[in-house]
Amino acid sequence: MGYAEVYDRAVRDPEGFWAEAAQDIHWDRPWDRVLDDDHAPFYRWFAGGQLNTCYNAVDRHVDNGRGDQPAIIYDSPVAQTKRVITYRELQRQVALFAGGLARLGVEKGDRVIIYMPMVPEALVAMLACARLGAIHSVVFGGFSANELCTRINDAKPRVMVGGSCGIEPSRVVPYKPLLDKAIEMAEHKPEHCIILQRPQGPGELMPGRDLEWNEAVQDVEPHPCVPVEATDPLYILYTSGTTGKPKGVVRDNGGHAVAMHWSMKHIYGMEPGEVFWAASDVGWVVGHSYIVYAPLIYGCTTVVYEGKPVGTPDPGAFWRVIQEHGVSVMFTAPTAFRAIKKEDPKAEHLKRYDLSGFRALFLAGERCDPDTLNWAGEILQRPVIDHWWQTETGWAIAGNFLGIEQLPIHPGSAGKPVPGYNVQILDDNGNPVPAGQMGRIMIQLPLPPACLPTLWQNDERFHQAYLSAQPGYYLTGDSGYLDEEGFLYVMGRIDDTINVAGHRLSTGAMEEVLASHPAVAECAVIGVQDPLKGSLPMGLVVMKSGVDLAEDELRRELVERVRDQIGPVAAFKLVAVVSRLPKTRSGKILRAVMRKIADNEPYQAPATIDDPAILDEIQQQLGRIGYAGAKQTTG
């Protein structure tokens, strides 16, 4: 069956399609209904069914003869460590850690926040939660104590699991003090913290509350898998919204396991037993789905890489990992390839490695510019596939299908809709637009399995943010178009989020931080183009009159504040101080115009602008802070 047939079948008979895919999962009790639409537009997949995700990802492979196969290959150039964990060993570690969590009182439905670097123990902790039916929420290590605190207050974890530190190429990042500070600030207090002490930077433990990892598993009984409802949450993953309050995306157990398994074969063209590598972080959705759950549920070996594409130690790092661990298919963000291209444009480092077993590279997380895609294709001489998805869906909405039929690659396009997703382009009034015309990318309900059933304890926000724009459709928040042949082009966000190095960040949240500075009267944060990270946040601030603070000092303090309150991952370094913000006469800030000025794009000030002279001032200010985009214009 080719792509068109598979796609049509999934649209015509979603229940039959997904029921068949669900045969690849081990169920403790079969479902009553494949799709429960009693509460539409809230849908539930495999209602009445019971399973355990950890059993499907770990134990069942041991039961089926994969016990001695590597499940995890840990490769850390920054910690100078490599370790292989077989499925049997993973089962032992996960069962023990689940026992340790249970001994602290963690039960089915309890939340556990995990704040860890890219070490195998992060996966063990996630899988142990899944084993117990507890709900994990992983927080990326590059987020600040403040962001962690927000998530603690929302998820209300009974226990937290932390690593004592992360290791960045230039420095050791102590995580434990951030975890302590977050708990101190939070209204909700977790009862216990389990800390993995790393020799590079051990943390101080708080007696009574904190336990060291080894202590947590000492003398515990391995815990069996607890069957849960297919519709029970497996995890919560927070993602940036338009305000400072992140959205707690919920993932269920049943639909998720089915979609993860299906995707490994049909999208990525993998076979069980092969090595899959997603060079991301367990703190992001790519990490949840393609470092942890999908490869393990499918019986592959997954690579946990704690390093960067460049500088650890050189731009040949990816090729080394592919060769050394026999990676068949790799997945990363375009920004990683832009980083490699910048340092090694002729791909000299590639010549040192044998990539004969490597089949394809998948890119996602941000729009992939055709230059990067073409460059990667030329140096690798393999299919380089851009595919599009988001935290909310948990897997690709559009892509290419190595296990069904490889479609032609059109640089700039994220491929064709994945079977199960009915993707449509609508205008602001909800009418379909013709091929080739830009509009809002919407998905007709129901969404396929694995997509978010709701936001954590917030059906109302889920409905308002995603379902209310057009009844019967899910609003992706992206704009783009479908061409005559049905290829999708995803061009950008329609909300106040930006994509920095493949990470979605909220400009609204950054504005809240800037506005809280006592010297700031008004501010706006926009996303400006960056050749490496895709975009970077830039703050434009107006100082209160009469404040005695040098502009340089204000800039330094604002950068520090965003780093402290959101985290280094925001990469907030550009601040221009201006006398006013450009606005319409009705007071709307002209963010799009400022963005165009910064990006050196032609712009037209709207007739309703209150003071056109401010636009020249902005241009000059950008030049003054050394922003290259503005420099080019001002000569």
Residues that bind ligand AMP (CB under 6 A): 239, 285, 364-368, 386-391, 414, 477-478, 490, 493, 499, 503-504
Pick out residues in 503-562 that bind ligand COA (CB under 6 A). 532
State the minimum distance, in angstroms, from the CB of residue 326 to ligand AMP: 27
Instruction: Name the residue nearer to ligand COA (CB basis): 100 or 142.
Output: 142
Residue 166 site contact among ligand AMP, ligand COA, none (CB < 5 to 8 Å, cut-off depends on kind): ligand COA
Pick out residues in 150-179 that bind ligand COA (CB under 6 A). 166, 168, 173
Query: What are the start-end ranges of the H helices in 421-483?
Result: 459-462
Instruction: Name the residue nearer to ligand AMP (CB basis): 216 or 452.
Output: 452
Distance (Å, whole) CA 252 – CA 127: 14
Residue 336 site contact among ligand AMP, ligand COA, none (CB < 5 to 8 Å, cut-off depends on kind): ligand COA
Distance (Å, whole) CA 72 – CA 89: 10
Pick out residues in 555-614 that bind ligand COA (CB under 6 A). 568-569, 571
142 binds ligand COA (CB under 6 A): yes
379 binds ligand COA (CB under 6 A): no
371 binds ligand COA (CB under 6 A): no
> Would you state the structure tokens that stand for residue 254, as one six-digit string?
């049943």
270 binds ligand COA (CB under 6 A): no
Instruction: Name the residue nearer to ligand AMP (CB basis): 147 or 366.
Output: 366
Distance (Å, whole) CA 436 – CA 486: 10
**179 within 8 A of 213, measured Cβ to Cβ:** no
Instruction: Name the residue nearer to ligand AMP (CB basis): 71 or 373.
Output: 373
Among 150, 263, 280, 393, the residue binding ligand COA under the rule CB under 6 A is 280
Q: 């602008």: which residue's tokens?
A: 609
Dihedral sign (CA 473, 477, 483, 489): negative
Instruction: Name the residue nearer to ligand COA (CB basis): 310 or 575.
Output: 310
Distance (Å, whole) CA 140 – CA 308: 15
497 binds ligand COA (CB under 6 A): no
501 binds ligand COA (CB under 6 A): yes
Residue 235 site contact among ligand COA, ligand AMP, none (CB < 5 to 8 Å, cut-off depends on kind): none
The DSSP secondary structure of 479-496, one letter per residue, reads EEEE-TTS-EEEEEESSS
Distance (Å, whole) CA 567 – CA 140: 10
How many other CB atoms are there within 10 angstroms of residue 556's CB atom? 12
Decide: helix, strand or coil at residue 396: coil
339 binds ligand COA (CB under 6 A): yes
**137 within 8 A of 112, measured Cβ to Cβ:** yes
Pick out residues in 350-369 that bind ligand COA (CB under 6 A). 365
Among 335, 400, 422, 507, the residue binding ligand COA under the rule CB under 6 A is 335
State the minimum distance, in angstroms, from the CB of residue 536 to ligand AMP: 15
How many other CB atoms are there within 10 angstroms of residue 36's CB atom? 19
Instruction: Name the residue nearer to ligand COA (CB basis): 142 or 255.
Output: 142
State the minimum distance, in angstroms, from the CB of residue 252 to ligand AMP: 18
**127 within 8 A of 223, measured Cβ to Cβ:** no
Instruction: Name the residue nearer to ligand COA (CB basis): 432 or 531.
Output: 531
Binding mask 175-214 toward ligand COA (x if CB under 6 A, else -) reads: ----------------------------------------
Distance (Å, whole) CA 605 – CA 612: 7
120 binds ligand COA (CB under 6 A): no
Distance (Å, whole) CA 241 – CA 153: 17
Omega prior to 446 cis, within 30 of 0: yes
Among 141, 453, 480, 629, the residue binding ligand COA under the rule CB under 6 A is 141
State the minimum distance, in angstroms, from the CB of residue 53 to ligand AMP: 21
Interface with ligand COA (CB under 6 A), residue total 24
Query: Among the candidate windows 302-310, 392-400, 471-479, 606-614, which touches ligand COA by CB under 6 A?
Result: 302-310
**239 within 8 A of 391, measured Cβ to Cβ:** yes
318 binds ligand COA (CB under 6 A): no
The DSSP secondary structure of 293-360, one letter per residue, reads IHHHHTT-EEEEE-S-SSSSS-TTHHHHHHHHHTEEEEEE-HHHHHHHHHH-TT-GGGGGS--TT--E
339: region left, alpha or beta (phi > 0 left; psi from -120 to 50 alpha): alpha
> Would you state the structure tokens that stand for residue 112, as one six-digit string?
């556990």
Among 72, 113, 134, 333, the residue binding ligand COA under the rule CB under 6 A is 333
Give contact residues for ligand COA (rule: CB under 6 A). Answer: 117, 141-142, 166, 168, 173, 280-281, 284, 286, 308-310, 333, 335-336, 339, 365, 501-502, 532, 568-569, 571
